[in-house]
Chain A
Amino acid sequence: MAAKHELGEPVVVVEGVEKAFGAFVVLKDVGLTIRRGETVCIIGPSGSGKSTLLRCINALVPISKGSITVAGRQVNDPALDKLALRRDVGIVFQQYNLFPHKTALQNVMMAPIHVLKQDPAEVGERARRLLAKVGLSHKHDAYPGELSGGQQQRVAIARSLAMNPKVMLFDEVTAALDPETKKEVLVTIRDLAAEGMTCILVTHEMGFAREVADHVYFTDGGVIVEHAPPAEFFGAPREARTRAFLEQVL
């Protein structure tokens, strides 16, 4: 079921965004609005530009045309304070990308200490709480190499949460996991969403989208073909392309 809490004012506004890598156009005139507390799932076939869109939102990839606003900051503005933006936006990747030479706890603590220059004792407290929240309180001193894929992904989520973001981006975070470990990560994300975090997920998990999302977007060939609340989206898709895609995956 969709989140029961109140949805706030728009926190991520994407308008007319275009992105080309050389001659190859990945995103064509993409627009969406996400409100605070909303959970949004972006689905679509591979190569449809979903991951690129996510990376544009937190300025890892610059856009060719259009505008993106996140929590009042203009992301495509060349004078943007990237540090401030990345405090507000956390991202979790498909390949976890934990730092292999640091323990789980250190991974979570590193950025707040070195980037936000916060007090290590405070950060340590918060890190422990976050790891407990994702269910890994017994794995503080484990190195990523000693953790399973699902555990690593949860540490990655905790690491991003440690920066106290307003928006969390998830880029196909369960695609590299096997079915049993997928569930523990999805549960973590679901709880996070239930607490009111604004989440944007690029995912193939239709079941999760149906249950947890407030809104579902379908991209194909670099454009948003259709978007609707999940009941409407999965129950009565309007576009033929959407129907074709859903037939393939469901």
Chain B
Amino acid sequence: MIQNIIVAVVILLAVCYAIYKIVQSFKKKKDCSSGCVGCTGCELSKRNM
């Protein structure tokens, strides 16, 4: 019985983590590491094309 409870908790945590990672990977990064903060490079490139 105790084994079943532990396994249920572990699976639940794994599901939560998987959902979190999927959502996180598709969320647009807004922190500075994305390199796009204040950069107008994309607009510039379109203009240069």
A, B assembled together = no
